[in-house]
Amino acid sequence: MLRPQESAYRDRRRIEGLWDFSFASPPVFDAEMAVPASYNDVLPGGRDHVGPVWYRKRVVVPRGWVGQRVVLHFESATHRATVWVDGAEVMSHEGGYTPFEAELDVTAGETIEIVVSVDNTLTFTSIPPGVVEQSAAGPRQRYWHDFSNYAGLHRPVWLYATPRECITDVTFSAAADGTLTWDITGGSRMILRNREGRVVASGGAQGTVKVGHVHPWAPGDGYLYELEAQRVEDGEVRDSCRRTVGFRTVTIDGPRFLINGRPFRFRGFGRHEDIPVLGRGHNDAWMLHDFALMDWIGANSFRTSHYPYSEDVLDHADRHGIVVIGETAAVGLNTALAQGTASRERFPTYGTETVNEATREVHAQAIRELVARDRHHPSVVMWSIANEPESETAAAEAYFLPLFALTRELDPDRPVGFANYGAATPDRCRLSRHADVLMLNRYYGWYVHTGDLAAAEQAFEAELRAWAATGKPILISEYGADTLPGLHAVEPTPWTEEYQSAYLEMNHRLFDRIPEVVGEHVWNFADFATTAGITRVGGNRKGVFTRDRQPKAAAHLLRRRWRGDQGSGKASP
Ligand code: GCB
């Protein structure tokens, strides 16, 4: 699927601003809601709402679009949606973080009414999974992941026009040696231009060329070419659209993670799309600010924990040479990890009534849509197909094996992994042997050996050495400590700023002793909203920045480590 875009042959309108809104079903449209935004924190009643909400908007199909193909495109609707235009159902979509669209049967110049129901319910056949329980206050959503179940229209909605006969897809792969292989559906000509606009290659609807003197995309050097696809009929161009191209190659060589043949060391964060009031709603100003802070601190990479992020984020990473690990929304496939809900009924994770074959098909579709959307981003160097699943059982292996195979079949060019959780140690985990990179989420000194950093260091070292013996690269995909800004102590104790710094220093000492460790992603870039619970004080406070993006003391420590020059110059890639 192509992103809506403008060209001499295409036009688009962003349907943003205020939409009519209703919590009630059937809808009464007695409120308004901003798009894009999560609805949860905007209006009272949003935070604990379970079930569908309704959006409505009337828009004019521009008169100039006469004779064109008109498409309605949603960049996401969390977690599922059904869409009607003038009372007729036009599409529905499962999964909260990938785009979907439908061609409309409308007349240029007329006003159409778009109604969308967006449902945030999590079940054992959704990704992520959850269950709805009845309480005195009504239905309550329960799930096994540690962030707010933000929902709604988080990203732009577009109405766009193309010629009736048009290009419908452009796919390619581009390696660091300049090899470009492409396939244009519905088009006939490919033109590749460098950043200066000079044509460096061209060809037909499909093909392979080798671009001479290629300038590869690399960490810290977001050099992009532009691929123009054209549809030519009777010698005339009838449609044209573009994708950016970064030439780069990712390989795993024993315990080394190589980008363009050079060892890459990940420095950065697990993050969330999470900002005050807007929740998971995309906002360009916050996005730029977050990237500026990552640059300030010297981060060269991040993981899209725990779901695919807005494509604007990936475009920015492409342009600036930031390395990304793309993750599906398969988080909480582990009912032992009941954040704040441990006292309630315990479900087996995998079973006919819980995570089962139907769940796996929804998960597989989430992987297909993630890879289809993001495989053209050079910034994305690896797929994480799940976060902290139960991975130490035979049932886990049976569930995941086909998903590893599917991901590799869809994209043979990127390594595949998943974020492993603390109880799935080297002797117990049954999935790590299927991963190309070991991604470890570890909290020695926080959830275990709390407050005892010496014991934590010893225990963590023993575990890391056992993982290192497998010969695979190790990325510490999470390590962190909750910290209340402004809380201080001479003797570092948990929750103080001193403890967060001492905790990070201990981890870094250890990572630097183990050559198989190829990177460190601190949990988390910033504090973020979670469900209420006795281990959460106004959300998860493991941020290096507060939720409004002020640095805690640890931010300065990381900046010294990652910029390697006391913070005065540019980080090396
Ligand atoms: C984890 C999870 C992450 C949590 C974090 C924590 O392992 O992957 O989603 O927020 O731990 O802070 O407990």
Chain centroid offset of residue 32 CA: 28
The response to whether residue 441 sits with its C-beta less than 6 Å from ligand 1 reads yes
**542: nearest Cα among 562, 563, 521:** 521
Q: Is the Cβ atom of 272 under 6 angstroms away from ligand 1?
A: no
Q: CB–CB of 294/268 below 8 Å?
A: yes
| CB 411 less than 6 A from any atom of ligand 1 | no
Work out the pLDDT band at 337, boundaries 50, 70, 90. confident
Neighbours of 185 (CB within 10 A): 14
- Over 80: is that where the pLDDT of 573 sits? no
Q: Is the pLDDT of residue 345 over 90?
A: no
Question: What mean pLDDT is predicted for residues 356-360?
Answer: 98
CA distances from 267 to 14, 26, 134, 273, 429 (A): 35, 49, 43, 19, 25
Q: Ligand 1 within 6 A of 75 CB?
A: no
Q: Give dist(CA 199, CA 524) in Å, integer.
A: 42
SS3 call for 72: strand
> What Å distances lie between residue 222 and 245, 246, 315, CA to CA?
10, 8, 10
Handedness of CA 95, 96, 97, 101 (dihedral sign): positive
Going by C-alpha positions, the residue among 410, 474, 397 that lies closest to residue 437 is: 474
CA-CA distance, 277 to 47, in Å (whole number)? 11
439-461 residues labelled b (16+ CB within 10 A) or e (exposed): bbbbbbbbeebbbebeebbebbe
Whether omega before 26 lies within 30 degrees of 0, making that bond cis, reads yes
The response to whether residue 482 sits with its C-beta less than 6 Å from ligand 1 reads no
Residue 567 has pLDDT above 90, yes or no: no
Which of the 8 DSSP states describes residue 201? Answer: E
Position 343 confidence tier, pLDDT thresholds 50, 70, 90: very low
Which domains occur in the chain, in start order?
Answer: 11-162 (2.60.120.260), 169-245 (2.60.40.10), 265-562 (3.20.20.80)
* Cα 303 from Cα 292, distance rounded (Å): 17
**Ligand 1 centroid vs 93 CA: distance in angstroms?**
28
Nearest atom in ligand 1 to 306's CA: 9
Counting ligand 1 atoms within 8 A of each CB, the residue from 540, 541, 544, 547 with the most, and so the one to mutate, is 540
Separation in Å, CA 412 to CA 19, 404, 405, 481: 42, 11, 10, 36
Whether the per-residue pLDDT at 571 is higher than 80: the answer is: no
CB of 146 closer than 6 angstroms to any ligand 1 atom: yes
Residue 381, pLDDT score: 98
pLDDT in tens, 24-45: 999 999 999 999 999 999 999 9
Question: Does the structure show a pLDDT above 60 at 295?
Answer: yes
Helix, coil or strand: residue 561:
helix
Residue located nearest, by CA, to atom 6 of ligand 1: 146
Task: Give distance in angstroms: CA of 88 to centre of ligand 1.
Answer: 42
* pLDDT beyond 90 at 190: yes
146 Cα: distance to centroid of ligand 1 (angstroms): 6
Is the CB of residue 270 less than 8 Å from the CB of residue 384? no
* Best CA proximity match to 419, nearest among 362, 475, 339: 475
Q: What is the mean pLDDT of residues 209-236?
A: 98
- Residue 339's pLDDT is what? 55
Note the pLDDT tens digit of each residue in 37-84: 999 999 999 999 999 999 999 999 999 999 999 999 999 999 999 999
Q: Which pLDDT value is given to residue 566? A: 47
* Global model pTM greater than 0.95: yes
**Model confidence at 374: pLDDT above 70:** yes
Mean pLDDT value of segment 92-108: 98
Q: How far apart are CA 271 and CA 273, in angstroms?
A: 7
Q: Please determine, for residue 412, whether its predicted confidence score (pLDDT) is greater than 70.
A: yes
Q: Which of 284, 290, 246, 252 is nearest to 269 (CA)?
A: 290
Rounded distance from Cα 535 to ligand 1 centre (Å): 12
State pLDDT tens for residues 316-330: 999 999 999 999 999
What's the pLDDT at 565? 59
3-class state of residue 191 by DSSP = strand
